[in-house]
Amino acid sequence: MKVIFTKLAAALLYLWQLPQNLLGLLLVSILKPEDSYDFNRARLYYATRMRGGISLGRYIIVRSAMRDFTERTEWHEYGHSRQSMILGPLYLFVIGIPSLIWAAIFRPGYGRSYYDFYTERWADKLGGVDRC
């Protein structure tokens, strides 16, 4: 009975995050990552054609070169996955689009960090990332 409940809960969670899960599947099929593994309730992919990291539902994709660089990026992106679990179909509007815009326009300096933006600060918190 527990196995049935676990599979049903996973299916419902996948449906709750369906828009971003579909985008994640599409991006994985385009980028053709060379490696992946289970990462909590998500799947982490390493792709050479990825510039940084992105989280779309249960699909986390990070640049292959980052694998040896830091685990913080993986946990930060997992924080975005948790945001997706919480917000469901609202994730793309509340987190995804603002986060992409912030990544495109942010320039270092002026006494602020990339991670000061609300989407990134919350992802760090949910992923257990401490930047102090």
pLDDT in tens, 6-18: 999 999 999 999 9
Could you tell me the maximum CA-CA distance found in the chain, to the nearest angstrom? Answer: 56
- The string of pLDDT tens digits covering residues 29-82 is 999 998 899 988 899 999 998 888 899 999 999 988 766 557 888 899 999 999
Q: Are the C-beta atoms of residues 132 and 72 closer than 8 Å to each other?
A: no
Confidence (pLDDT) at 49: 87
Q: What interhelical angle do 18-31 and 2-16 show, nearest 10? A: 80
Distances, alpha carbon 131 to alpha carbons 11, 43, 71, 76, 98, in Å? 34, 24, 12, 11, 21
- The string of pLDDT tens digits covering residues 80-116 is 999 999 999 999 999 999 999 999 998 887 778 999 9
Tokens encoding 71: 């685990």
Residue 28 has pLDDT above 60, yes or no: yes
The dihedral over CA atoms of 16, 102, 105, 68, expressed in degrees to the nearest 10, equals -90
Confidence (pLDDT) at 67: 61
Confidence (pLDDT) at 71: 82
Tokens encoding 126: 């949910």
